[in-house]
């Protein structure tokens, strides 16, 4: 049994070291893929499930200045820029600023259009509401990635 325990410990140490070394990179790239993918969908009218709520929100936030036909393309470009910045690790401070501004805009339908976001406010979100609420994870991922832009990193504990 001792051999099993020692082998498991060695495997666990190696796996933890691998996760510490590559976890942030994989988080950054996967978050970038999500943003890029969702951004590309918005270039094709009627394909993105978020299109209607997104354009309505932008219209309200810009006091009607940006029309839906224009705002959806701006949002598409915005999300694609975030995605490409994350995937390739480019202009990370600016990319993360765009991400957090976009996330701030994404949360506003919960308050501007609660009837669209909830079947029973505030406990039963619609599919659109769930789509918005899951952004808590994207925001948290952005915070973790942001902690590395000045050289921060995850370091695995030294084996004992």
Q: What is the pLDDT of residue 97?
A: 97
pLDDT for the residue 75:
97
Q: Residue 157 has what pLDDT?
A: 82
Q: What's the 3-state SS for 20-58?
A: HHHHHHHHHHHHHHHHHHHHHHCCCCCCCCCHHHHHHHH
The pLDDT value recorded for residue 6 is 87
Q: Which sequence spans correspond to the domains of the chain? A: 29-146
Count of Cβ atoms closer than 10 Å to residue 81 Cβ: 20
- pLDDT per 10-residue tile (average), the chain, 160 residues: 84 92 97 97 93 95 95 97 98 97 95 94 92 95 95 82
The pLDDT value recorded for residue 4 is: 84
How confident is the model at residue 155, as a pLDDT? 87
Distance of alpha carbon 101 from alpha carbon 106, whole angstroms: 9
Q: What is the pLDDT of residue 5?
A: 83
pLDDT given for residue 160 in this prediction: 66
């Amino acid at each position: 049994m001792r051999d099993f325990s020692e082998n498991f410990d060695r495997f666990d140490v190696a796996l933890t070291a691998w996760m510490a070394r590559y976890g942030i990179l994989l988080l950054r790239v996967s978050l970038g893929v999500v943003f890029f993918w969702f951004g590309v969908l918005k270039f094709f009218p009627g394909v993105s499930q978020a299109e209607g709520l997104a354009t309505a929100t932008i219209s309200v936030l810009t006091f009607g200045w940006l029309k839906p036909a224009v705002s959806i393309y701006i949002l598409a470009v915005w999300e694609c820029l975030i995605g490409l910045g994350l995937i390739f690790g480019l202009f990370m401070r600016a990319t993360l600023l765009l991400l957090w501004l976009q996330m701030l805009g994404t949360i506003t339908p919960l308050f501007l259009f609660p009837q669209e976001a909830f079947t029973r406010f505030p406990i039963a979100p619609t599919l659109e509401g769930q789509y918005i609420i899951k952004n808590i994870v994207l925001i948290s991922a952005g915070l973790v990635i942001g902690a590395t832009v000045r050289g921060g990193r995850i370091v695995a504990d030294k084996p004992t």
